Amino acid sequence: MDHSCHQRRNGVVVPEPCPHLAEFRSRHGTKAFRALQECLKVRPPGRAAIRRDPNEVPRCGSCGLSALPRLYACVVCAAVSCYAHAPSHAAAGGGGGHEIAVDVDRAELFCCLCRDQVYDRDFDSAVVLAQTVASTLGGGSAIRSPPPPPENLRKRRRVDYRPWTPDSRERALMGRNSIPMNRTTGGETSSDLPWGLRGLNNLGNTCFMNSVLQAFLHTPPLRNYFLSDRHNRYFCQQKNSVKKNDTSYNKNSRLCLACDMDAMFSAVFSGDRTPYSPAKFLYSWWQHAANLASYEQQDAHEFFISMLDGIHEKVEKDKRKPQNQGNGDCCIAHRVFCGILRSDVMCTACGFTSTTYDPCVDISLDLEPNQVASSKTSTKSLHSCNNGEADSLYSSQSCGISTLMGCLDRFTRPERLGSDQKFFCQRCQVRQESLKQMSIRKLPLVSCFHIKRFEHSPIRNMSRKVDRYLQFPFSLDMAPYLSSSILRSRFGNRIFSFDGDEQDGSGSSELSSEFELFAVITHTGKLDAGHYVTYLRLSNQWYKCDDAWITQVNENIVRAAQGYMMFYVQKMLYYKVSEKAVAP
């Protein structure tokens, strides 16, 4: 943009209007823009354009060319001009409002004298209203008010982080009820390892469990939750013992995985460096997943999902307000890992869109298909890889390998459903061809990406492992994959808020889309005979956790690893104002 002055209103950048647009508004008001709403049409996947006859080809009135990248229709006289001849048309109009035109294919305002795209709130209101009417039932017969301007957005209440220091009463309580940690336990050879880094004994093909547990033990929000005694196993067991005296108590009730996690956090962060045996946790998990109770090798991703379900099932819920798994507030497992996916299915005939929302604790990604080297690079990938890692050790191979950003691009790009998956359009009342697009409505505190490395061919009736290398960044910007970004790209980068923007505190703001990699689970070997290893990033140093053995490694070893599950944590965590009154 040529205009250097911008205003920021509730996180939305609103450029200053150009003087020619301000003069146009002073003469014609907003009626000219409102009248344009009848001249707009919406075509899949939801982009607005100027309505015209299907056989009509717009051409520049001066040069007669039609195959130009941009053509503009004058708002006053509807004359079509190209980028080169638009200024001459505005000058010939003698300042009667011919300076303002509309992009024929994108329905965006253009100033012919400034030769730049300009923004107007009332014009964008008309365009967004036309898109909203086109994507919902009722067509143009329903008269609706335009979306509220950004000034009316509700702000998320945030408070500054303040480090806690105990007062005299709290110090006395801690002195009476706590035991100091012994940092000298375990010998001098392990003194250089970070606090809490401890090996886990293999109990018989349990490397799948050890790899996930290492990632859990060093997930910052989970670690802070359990080490701050938010789930006290003694108190939880005491409550369960009271329930046992109740006649309605189920004797077959399974053990609490959260209590076992609390015991494991206490043991791992006790200072003891000798390998820990998570036998009690394994037994409790077998009670929750009886179909997986064996000493055979299991899938780490399946164990991850089963473990979260077990913690979610047994954690005590707050009875004073309804809890919902979809909003991620039901338990610590979902508060940390749960996000919300948005799925849009659009009818290609009329533009009607069916939108659904689903909670998810991870995102499973397909590897990019094998392709020849190409000079094209995804703009989203360039935006996401913001730490210069494109020039890493493997940059020379980047054209022929899969990247995490490329997998996310593939996950969020529009997909045309096949003829055998026709979508029943509620407006057409028949099954139609459709486009489907996924996006992320809400980001979790910790994003887990699962790479689909195990394939099953129904034709050959056999399974195999995909050993292709995946390049993943240490810093990741998830903004291009948010619903707000996808919708803005689809609707022409309007300045209004869209579904997915931060309105009620449940959305993801642009300040919280930056993530840091802290754990990578890898799988080596074959489908039926492999081994899982976890790489952890602690204090900006990488460590390899291979069951009971902990070794320090170089980051290039991590980059070259065959990633199966990647864990990213938000760089900046925001604190909400507490709903409970705090005693002074």
Q: Is 236 a catalytic residue?
A: no
The tally of CA atoms less than 13 A away on the side-chain side of residue 216 is 26
**Inter-axis angle of helices 300-314 and 279-288, to 10 degrees?**
80
Helix and strand totals (H; E) in the chain? 16, 29
Q: What is residue 215's DSSP assignment?
A: H
Q: Is 207 a catalytic residue?
A: yes
Q: Evaluate whether 486 touches 440 at the Cβ level (below 8 Å).
A: no
In angstroms, the CA 233 to CA 259 distance is 5
In angstroms, the CA 360 to CA 440 distance is 10
Strand 109-111 versus strand 116-117 pairing type = antiparallel
Q: Is 486 helix (H, G, I), strand (E, B) or coil?
A: helix
Which of 499, 537, 531, 495 shows the shortest CA–CA distance to 516?
Answer: 537
In angstroms, the CA 383 to CA 408 distance is 12
User: Nearest 5°: phi and psi at 539?
Assistant: 55, 40
Strand 402-403 versus strand 470-471 pairing type = parallel
User: How far does CA 446 lie from the centroid of its chain?
Assistant: 10
Query: Beta strands of 121-270 (E only): which ranges?
Result: 158-159
Angle 239-241-247 from CA coordinates, rounded to 5°: 105
In angstroms, the CA 300 to CA 130 distance is 47
User: Nearest 5°: phi and psi at 427?
Assistant: -90, -45
Which of 40, 51, 112 shows the shortest CA–CA distance to 81?
Answer: 112
Sign of CA dihedral 165, 168, 169, 173: positive
In angstroms, the CA 206 to CA 229 distance is 28
Q: Which two tokens stand for residue 482?
A: 């948010």
Which of 375, 376, 358, 384 shows the shortest CA–CA distance to 513?
Answer: 384
Among 111, 112, 207, 385, the active-site one is 207
Q: Which two tokens stand for residue 183?
A: 């940092």
Q: Evaluate whether 104 touches 469 at the Cβ level (below 8 Å).
A: no
Q: H-helix or E-strand containing 336?
A: helix 332-337
Which residue in the block uniquely carries the two structure tokens 């009154």?
581
In the beta sheet, which residues pair with residue 109? 102
In the beta sheet, which residues pair with residue 549? 546
In angstroms, the CA 354 to CA 431 distance is 13
10 Å CB burial of residue 320 (0-12, 13-18, 19+) is exposed
Q: Evaluate whether 404 touches 385 at the Cβ level (below 8 Å).
A: no
Strand 514-525 versus strand 530-538 pairing type = antiparallel
Q: What is the CA radius of gyration of the chain?
A: 29
Catalytic residues: 207, 531
